[in-house]
Structure 1
Amino acid sequence: MNKLVNKMALTLLAIVLLIAGIIAGGCASSQNSAGNESAEQGKEQGNEPYQIGAVVDISGNSSSLGVPERDTLLMLVDQLNQAGGINGHPVELTILDNKSEETEAVLAVKKLIEKDVLAVLGCSSSGPSMAMINTVQSAEVPMMSMAAASSIVEPVNERQWVFKTAQSDIVTVENIITYLKARELTKVAFLYMNNAYGDGGKAAFTTAAKENGIEIAAEEKFEASDKDMTPQLTKVKAGGAQAAVVWAIPPSASIITKNFKDMGLSIPLIHSHGVGNQQFIELAQGAAEGVILPIGKLAVASQIPDSDPQKKVLESYMADYQAKYNTQPNSFGGYAWDAFNLVVAAIEKAGPDRAAIRDELEKTSGFSGISGTFNMSPQDHNGLGVHSMVLVQIKDSKWQLIE
């Protein structure tokens, strides 16, 4: 009798484990792909789904960038498929997490290429984006980065298959230089993350400062994982700078901002657009008050004039995102909005042909997106100029347009 009971128990356990495995497998699939249900419907209608891939910094140091990008992409592919897809073809979007690591980004993009995606979106940050370039160039797959470093798309003759949506370092720097010169601040400190994003900002700012007669009184770097930048700021305090420029993303950008206030530094603190999300303000624990930075218009959409060609696009994205996630989007989600819609527009014209998609991306003209109005060319694979950004100051934990 005991043997029979034991046998029945083992059989029941095996059934339970089998069911659990099936459920787990289904969950894993839904986390990695979007638009699968519409893709199956498309197959039933005789229209094969178009495959698009995305490599996003969903976890790790750059997760504050990647999470809103992932959420934006999931929302957009659902909207697109509900509207009939691309020329009647539903879109299946596969999103992979690179964990904010360059090696993981390369492994992820190789998986997507093996899946025969028409284009790749990503990454969220500059280092992983740079790491994927050789792979997409070799495979001749269009890539639309959502990161800032100018070197992602330059030199263009070595990046024929690579484009990006975030404003380049030099665009951000030009806005900062304009602010400094208008206030006759000619002696500044420059602090930056020791990674591709920080290096790009340093190179652009160093060149622009020299051309505009601005002295860099102190130059200090820190690691993305550092928990205290007091030693670097101590040198800044001793250097007699009239302002401090920081090139970083959260959480390190928030930490150095808090250190700055704790040390009683009263000179203007200017950040790059790498802090363009509410998490930067929250992590700084009140220390972000007064911080100045150039940023895309999304952060101050309600403050820009109705005549701005971006205004309706910005308001539509904000309303859609708020309705789906019960929170407001930020600039990083905006980079994903631009990346997805630019690629979709190119596929609509080119069809499922990677080379033709690349060519159409390069012809992008007058595309009003979240980050600005894009005008790409064989010489410019970003297509955004200095007027794609505005200067803002953080007041009462909110972004305030500087007139």
Structure 2
Amino acid sequence: MTCHSHFKSLAIAAAIALPLSGLSIYSPALAQQTVKIGSVLSVTGPASFLGEPEDKTLRMYVDKINAAGGVAGKKIELVIYDDGGDANKARTFATRLIEDDKVVAMVGGSTTGTTMAMVPVFEEAQVPFISLAGAIEVVDPVRKFIFKTPHTDKMACEKIFENLKQRNFTKIAMISGTDGFGASMRAQCVKVAPTYGVQIIAEETYGPRDSDMTAQLTKIKGVAGVQAVVNPGFGQGPAIVTRNYAQLGMSATPLYQSHGVASKSFIELAGPAAEGVRLPAAALLVGDKLPDGDPQKKVVVDYKQTFEATAKQPVSTFGGHAYDGLYIMVEAMKRANSTDAKKVRDEIEKTKGFVGTGGIVTMSPTDHLGLDLSAFRMLEVKGGDWTLLPPGT
């Protein structure tokens, strides 16, 4: 029996034995000398566009790491649960990872809601948790065992407002999702707007299951003086907003989205209406368009080629967050020459100059993200694809 077929049979056996567990993969490594790393992801459900590429990324790169000899003398045993985007399930699985699976570290948490439900579990157990969620509240205030890889919603607001300022736009409207990420980003944008001389003169919201935002956008359209519209949100909502925006003939007013829609699926869902939309995102989406001297170019191009060849789907920044989280964790274990949870935590916090898909990461006791605004690129949809905006445009 080949290693691959043996792994498949194990996965099938696990699925049969645990029909209600949500466990999607257990162990790609069977050696006695293993280190267990856990993950709880939204592989199915409304946030699957986040969780699915994260899941595929973790699987493919754990296999690569194990094939190269593992970490700190041990093979990685990966335990992944699918929370379906449900925060209560996420917390249950987090507890299971600690109490039953005895993981020494965790990379996961596709959404802000599921992440925040799991934070107390890992903090109390003193097990390092690198989240893949967007909101700043994951790492602010700093908690000893909690880290994250994606740019924050506050940074997204700052990058958007920086661009608005360059274009001399001072009066905007916001239409925000009421989900955890949308609500958090809306609050951050309201907070930082005055710093950039931006006035929010109209505001609307929509729920995660809403399928038409025409009424809210019609109200915004009726407010005089709106120079641009900002849409904090993720999932299908922003694509619906973008389509309704075009249907109402609002396309002459610039529309900004967040990094919460930084995948090709947003462009596919929004269709031609996405043309001209701007958003801040990681370099990963425009890796091939980066100058050769860019320190991130090799990392993002290699990840994109590996992911697309293996997963047979376009790369997204979300899988990239999982790549960054896994390798920050693995490099911390290598530096510690240990898989002890507390030693690994200490080394994660000492991460310096890590070149990832999201940027160049340097963490500290007061910064458990380690990215600054330069890690964000401002993109615009042109010809049905992402283009990199030159600085100052």
User: Does the alignment pair 1:221 with 2:202?
Assistant: no
Q: Return closer, same or farther for 1:28/1:84 CA change in 2, 3 Å cut-off.
A: farther
Any stretches of 5+ residues in structure 1 without a counterpart?
1-20
Q: After TM superposition, what 4+ stretches of structure 1 lie above 3 angstroms from structure 2?
A: 21-24, 26-31
Deviation at 1:29, TM superposition (A): 7.4
Query: In structure 2, how many angstroms separate the alpha carbons of the residues matched to 1:23 and 1:96?
Result: 13
Quick one: which amino acid aligns to residue 25 of structure 2?
S
Do 2:264 and 2:314's aligned partners in 1 also have CA atoms closer than 8 Å?
A: no
Task: Kindly indicate whether the alpha-carbon contact (under 8 Å) linking 1:34 and 1:74 is maintained by their aligned counterparts in 2.
Answer: no
User: Does residue 107 of structure 1 match 2:96?
Assistant: no
Residue 13 (structure 2) aligned to one of 25, 29, 35: 25
Partner of 1:346: 332
Match of 1:399?
A: 386
Rounded to whole Å, the distance in 2 between the matches of 1:219 and 1:134 is 33
Q: Does 1:307 align with 2:293?
A: yes
Q: Distance in 2 between matches of 1:362 and 1:302?
A: 31
Indicate conservation of the 8 Å contact 1:57/1:63, yes or no: yes
Q: Is the 8 A contact 2:243 2:270 kept in 1?
A: yes
Q: Distance in 2 between matches of 1:344 and 1:175?
A: 30
1:201 paired residue number: 185
2:122 corresponds to 1:136: yes
Secondary structure of the structure 2 residue equivalent to 1:286 = helix
Deviation at 1:190, TM superposition (A): 1.0
What's the offset of the Cα at 1:213? 1.8
Partner in structure 2 of residue 5 of structure 1 = none
Q: Pairwise mapping of residues 184-195 of structure 1 onto structure 2 (< 5 A)? A: 184-195=168-179
1:385 equivalenced with 2:372 (yes/no): yes
Per-residue deviation, 1:231 = 1.5
* Identity within the alignment, %: 38
Aligned AA for 2:168?
A: E
| Change over 3 Å in CA distance of 1:164–1:29 after alignment to 2 | farther
Mapping of residues 33-44 of structure 1, within 5 Å: 33-36=25-28, 39-40=29-30, 42-43=31-32
The answer to whether the 8 A contact 2:54-2:321 is kept is: yes
Partner residue of 2:80? 95
Give the Cα separation in 1 of the matches to 2:205 and 2:108: 26
Q: Is the 8 A contact 1:109 1:120 kept in 2?
A: no
- Mapped to 2, the partners of 1:286 and 1:110 lie a distance apart of 44
Matched, 1:325 2:317: no
* Structure 1 residues 46-125: aligned runs within 5 Å: 48-114=33-99, 115-125=101-111
Distance change >3 Å, CA 60–CA 234, structure 1 → 2: same
Partner in structure 1 of residue 149 of structure 2: 165
Counterpart residue identity of residue 192, structure 2: A
Residue number among 363, 369, 372 corresponding to 1:376 in the alignment: 363
Is the CA contact (8 Å cut-off) linking 1:33 and 1:92 kept in structure 2? Answer: no
Deviation at 1:28, TM superposition (A): 4.9
Distance 1:203 1:88, change over 3 A: same
Distance 2:203 2:92 in 1: 35
Q: 1:237 to 1:72 in 2, by over 3 A?
A: same
Cα distance, 1:181 vs. partner? 0.4
SS in 1 for 2:271: coil
- In structure 2, the partner of 1:267 is 253
Q: Return the offset for 1:120.
A: 1.1
Give the whole-Å Cα distance in 2 for the aligned partners of 1:381 and 1:174: 19
Offset of 1:33 from its aligned partner? 2.5
| Residue of structure 2 equivalent to 1:178 | 162
Q: Is the 8 A contact 2:182 2:234 kept in 1?
A: no
Q: What's the counterpart of residue 346 of structure 2? A: 359
Q: Is the 8 A contact 2:229 2:254 kept in 1?
A: yes
Shift in Å, 1:141:
1.1
Q: One-letter code of the match for 2:114?
A: P
Residues 199 and 393 of structure 1: is their aligned pair in 2 closer, same or farther, counting only changes over 3 Å?
same
Tell me the secondary structure at the aligned position of residue 75 of structure 1: helix
Higher share in helix: 1
User: What is the count of residue pairs matched by the alignment?
Assistant: 374
For 2:6, the equivalent position in structure 1 comes to none
Shift of 1:328: 3.1
Distance 1:286 1:144 in 2: 36
TM-score (norm 2): 0.92
Structure 2 residue corresponding to 1:212, chosen from 190, 196, 199: 196
Which residue of the other structure, out of 122, 133, 145, is the alignment partner of 1:147?
A: 133
Q: Which residue of 2 aligns with 1:230?
A: 214
Cα distance between partner residues in 2 of 1:35 and 1:29: 14
Give the structure-1-normalised TM-score: 0.90
AA aligned to 1:101 is D
Uncovered stretches (5+) of structure 2, i.e. residues with no partner: 1-8
- SS of 2:169's equivalent in the other structure is coil
Summarize deviations over 1:121-146 as a string: whole Å, max 9, x none.
12111111111111111111111000
How far, CA to CA, are the matches of 1:28 and 1:126 in structure 2? Answer: 31
What residue identity is the alignment partner of 2:362?
N
Counterpart of 2:323 (choices 316, 326, 337) is: 337
Aligned-residue offset at 1:292:
0.4
Task: Report the RMSD for the aligned CA atoms in angstroms.
Answer: 1.7
